């Protein structure tokens, strides 16, 4: 492992997680929990398989990741974050927060996985009617369908489908994200190719308090 050899805590952090792909491996483990090798590779489009193996080995040695032999029904090895690895979550969330401003400029051919929506959704959405009835939005964009659920004021995401979601939206990732965080109005989005079905007010209920046409320079909560 290469080191900056500087007595500085930021440099020490980067000695451990600063190499290419490493933080994205941690992202996968944070968003999906304990994962198999193949699932990690699927969540990291573009990574070379030997690199994934090497990063996992390094992270294990650094004490951020633990391997685990799963019991018979799965019968494979799982990778999961250790508590020490989990402690990096606030830092990665901050980095992701900063990157939100770059999302509208993303090229349309970027690869995408549904669970990546979890970060922006949980950062930017809040239930304006916490005492209202539970609500479910189903999102279909680039692969596996996702659910956004608000129960007792808490907004959560998970993969899967719902029997009768209050709202179902589908379309290209950029448009879906823009719509979810309120950057694009539902009607605008529909005109640009977004499909939806159900109750549009479900979306309005999740916009954060300060939401409007605010282009803004990155609000800090």
Partner DNA sequence: CAGCATCCGCTTTGATACTG
Partner DNA sequence: CAGTATCAAAGCGGATGCTG
Q: Which of residues 38 and 61 has its CB atom nearest to DNA in the complex?
A: 38
* Residue recorded with tokens 């901050």: 94
CB of 71 to DNA, least distance (A): 13
* Residue recorded with tokens 């823009």: 178
Tell which positions 48-67 bind its own copies, by CB under 8 A. Answer: none
Applying CB under 7 A, the span of 19-27, 120-128, 146-154, 187-195 interacting with DNA comes to 19-27
Tell which positions 120-139 bind its own copies, by CB under 8 A. Answer: 120
Sorted by sequence, the CB contacts under 8 Å of residue 170 that are 6+ apart come out as 139, 140, 141, 176, 194, 195, 196
Inter-axis angle of helices 22-32 and 9-17, nearest 10? 80
Q: Which of residues 2 and 220 has its CB atom nearest to DNA in the complex?
A: 2
Q: Which of residues 21 and 112 has its CB atom nearest to DNA in the complex?
A: 21
Helix (H, G, I), strand (E, B) or coil at 128: coil
CA geometry: angle 51, 74, 142, nearest 5 deg: 60
Binding residues for its own copies (CB under 8 A): 4-16, 18, 20, 23-24, 27, 45-46, 83-84, 87-88, 90-92, 94-100, 102-103, 106-107, 109-113, 116, 119-120, 142, 173-174, 177, 217-218, 220
């Amino acid at each position: 492992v290469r080191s900056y050899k500087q007595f500085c805590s930021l440099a020490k952090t980067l000695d451990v997680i600063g190499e290419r792909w490493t933080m994205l491996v941690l992202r996968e483990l944070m968003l999906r929990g304990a994962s198999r090798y193949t699932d990690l590779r699927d969540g990291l489009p573009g990574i070379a398989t030997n690199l994934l193996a090497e990063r996992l080995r390094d992270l294990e040695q650094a004490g951020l990741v633990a391997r685990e032999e799963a019991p018979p029904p799965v019968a494979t090895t799982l990778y999961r974050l250790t508590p020490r690895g989990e402690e990096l979550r606030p830092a990665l969330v901050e980095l992701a927060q900063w990157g939100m401003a770059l999302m509208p400029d993303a090229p349309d051919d970027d690869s995408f996985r549904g669970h990546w929506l979890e970060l922006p959704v949980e950062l930017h959405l809040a239930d304006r009617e916490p005492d209202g009835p539970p609500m479910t939005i189903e999102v279909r964009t680039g692969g596996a369908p996702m659910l956004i659920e608000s129960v007792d004021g808490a907004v959560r995401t998970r993969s899967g489908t719902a029997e009768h979601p209050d709202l179902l939206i589908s379309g290209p990732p950029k448009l879906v994200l823009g719509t979810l965080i309120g950057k694009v109005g539902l009607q605008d989005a529909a005109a640009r190719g977004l499909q939806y079905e159900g109750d549009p007010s479900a979306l309005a209920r999740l916009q954060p308090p300060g939401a409007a046409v605010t282009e803004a320079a990155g609000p800090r909560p």
